[in-house]
Amino acid sequence: MFYLVSYDIPETRRRTKLAKILEDFGDRVQYSVFECILDEKLLGKMIKRIQEIIIAEDDSIRIYSICAGCEKRIEVMGKGKVSKIENIYVI
């Protein structure tokens, strides 16, 4: 499943920690926006790690699930591209 994760965290140290967590799960497409292609298990792991560092009263993290039909209709204007699953072959 394709997920869009955005965040607004006022404290620099927590914001940096969150960005590093999200880099483990997806691609940064804007300063505080990541595209992630995850199964349910990875989504759960990502959410658990996020919950360990955020302060709910101060921070805002949004995780949007994008269905396959909607994913095909994503339009990028300017530089950048939509994250895709890369085919990897090990020989």
Binding-site annotation, residues for Mg(2+): 8
Residues 6+ apart with CB under 8 A from 10: 58, 59
Nearest Cα neighbor of 23 from 50, 44, 1 is 50
Annotated binding site: 8
The sign of the torsion formed by the CA atoms of 21, 35, 76, 62 equals negative
